[in-house]
Amino acid sequence: MKKVLVAGGAGFLGSHLCDRLLNRSDIEKLIVVDNLWTGLEANILHIRDPRFQFVRSDVENLQTSDKFDEVYHLASPASPPWYMSEPKRTISANLIGAFRLLDLLKKGGRFCFTSSSEVYGDPLVSPQPESYKGQVDCTGPRSSYDESKRCTESLLFEMQRTQGLDVKIVRPFNVYGPRTRPDDGRAVSNFVSQALTGRPLTVYGDGMQSRSWGYVDDIIDGFARYFWMNDTDYRGPLNVGNDREISVLEVAQYVSRLMGGIPIVFEPSPPHDPTNRRPDLTNANYVMPEWSCSISYEEGVSRTLDWFRQEMDITAAQAESLQLAKTGR
C-alpha cells in the first residue's frame, strides 16, 4: 500500500489527478499540499475518501514526518497574469518546491512532475518534439514560469542520470475544462466567463495565434497512464496534448455562436505571447499507443460552459440564500 503526496492538489490539474488517484486501490494515504494561491478548496470539497487529507501550506515549507512512495509536483500557477505578477514566488514553488519534495520521497519512490509546453517558448519548429530545445527568453516577463519549469526538469533528469531517481515528467499543452478559475486569465475560461456574464469576448492580438487545446479529461488520462507505467524504456519528458491546432479566434467564434452571437472585441497581445504551439505526439503514441485525445474542442468547450454555468448558478443560489437569511425572510 502506498503513501502519495500531491503538491498543488487543489489546483485545476491537481484536483483532477487526485480524483484519478483515489480510484486506485493500492493507495492507503493521499495527502494534498496546497497554499490556495491559485488552487481552490472548492476543487477538492467533493472528496469524501478517508484516505484523503488536505494540508494548507506552501510546498517549500511542508512539515511532515511522512515519506512518500509517489510524489506529484503540480504546485505552480500556470496562467501568465498570475505568474507574471509574482515571479519570485513562482520560481520558488516550482524549484524550491521540488527540492523539498525530493526530501520527502522514499528511497526508490517515484517523482512525477508536470512541466509545460512553455519550455518551448515561442517555437521555431512545429509541431514540437520533446527534443526541441525551445526558444525561451530567460530575461523576459514570462521567464519565471518557463525557466523554472526548465530548471526543475533539469534537476529531476540530472537526479535520474546521477542517482537513478525514478522520474516521470509530462509537458501538457494548453489544458482547459471544469475547475479552471473564472479569473484564470487564459482564453477558454476568459471567453466562457465573459459569455456567461453577458460581456463581449476579448481576443488578444488578431486571434490567429493557434493553440492545441487539450480537454482536461484527455490530458489527465494521459498523465495517469504515463505516471503509473512501470515498464517503459522511454526516459521522458512526454508531450501530452491535443495535436489539433485551432486559432484563438475560432474558439471565440464558437463560444459566441453557442451563446447566441455574443460580440467579439480585439485588444493588443500580451508580451511574448507564442504565435503557435502544437505537440509532436510521436513519443506519446509510442509509450501509450492506446491513448489519444478523444474530445473535440467543440465538445470540450460546451462541457466547460455547462460547468461554469452550473457553478455560477450555485454561487448565485448561495448568495441569495445568504441574503434571505440575513434579511430574516
Shortest distance (Å) from residue 261 CB to a copy of itself? 40
Grid cell listed for 273: 505571447
Q: Tell whether residue 119 is a contact of a copy of itself (CB under 8 A).
A: yes
- Of the candidate residues 121, 185, 207, 241, the single one contacting a copy of itself (CB under 8 A): 121
Residue numbers annotated as active site: 145
State the Cα–Cα distance between residues 275 and 84, nearest whole angstrom: 19
Alpha helices in the chain (DSSP H): 12-21, 80-85, 87-91, 97-103, 143-163, 187-196, 216-227, 248-258, 282-287, 297-327
Is residue 31 left, alpha or beta, with left meaning phi > 0 and alpha meaning psi from -120 to 50? beta
Residue nearer to a copy of itself on the CB measure, 148 or 193: 148
Stretch near a copy of itself under the rule CB under 8 A, chosen from 135-143, 197-205, 207-215, 293-301:
135-143
Q: Which is nearer to a copy of itself, 163 or 318 (CB)?
A: 163
**Cα separation of 230 and 39, whole Å?**
30
- Count of residues binding a copy of itself (CB under 8 A)? 40
Q: In this structure, which long-range contacts are made by residues 39-43, counting pairs with CB atoms below 8 Å and at least 24 apart in sequence?
A: 39/8, 39/9, 39/10, 39/11, 39/12, 39/14, 39/15, 40/10, 40/11, 40/179, 40/181, 41/10, 43/10, 43/11, 43/12, 43/14, 43/15, 43/179
- Spatial neighbors of 193 by CB under 8 A, at least 6 apart, are 182, 183, 308
Selected range binding a copy of itself among 91-99, 182-190, 255-263, 286-294, rule: CB under 8 A: 91-99
When the beta carbons of 54 and 145 are compared against a copy of itself, the nearer one is: 145
Among 2, 40, 47, 141, binds a copy of itself (CB under 8 A): 141
Q: Does 91 bind a copy of itself (CB under 8 A)?
A: yes
Stretch that binds a copy of itself, among 73-81, 143-151, 223-231, 287-295 (CB under 8 A): 143-151
Q: Which stretch binds a copy of itself (CB under 8 A): 39-47, 154-162, 275-283, 284-292?
A: 154-162
- In the complex, minimum distance from the CB of residue 143 to a copy of itself, in angstroms, rounded to a whole number: 4
Residue 284 makes CB contacts below 8 A (sequence gap 6+) with 222, 238, 239, 240, 291
- The minimum distance between CB 187 and a copy of itself, in angstroms, equals 24
| 105 contacts a copy of itself (rule: CB under 8 A) | no
**By CB under 8 A, residue 232 contacts a copy of itself:** no
Please select the residue that binds a copy of itself; options are 19, 125, 140, 296, rule is CB under 8 A. 140
Residue 236 binds to a copy of itself (criterion: CB under 8 A):
yes
Evaluated on CA atoms 99, 103, 106, 107, the torsion sign reads positive
CB of 216 to a copy of itself, least distance (A): 25
Residue 231 DSSP code:
S
Residue 197, exposed/middle/buried by CB under 10 A (0-12, 13-18, 19+)? exposed
Nearer Cβ to a copy of itself, position 131 or 230? 131
The answer to whether 187 and 248 are in contact (CB under 8 A) is yes
DSSP type of residue 244:
-
**79 near a copy of itself (CB under 8 A):** no
221 contributes a contact to a copy of itself by CB under 8 A: no
Query: What is the binding site for a copy of itself (CB under 8 A)?
Result: 85-88, 91-92, 95-96, 99, 102, 119, 121, 130-131, 133-141, 143-144, 146-148, 150-151, 153-155, 157-159, 161-162, 236-237
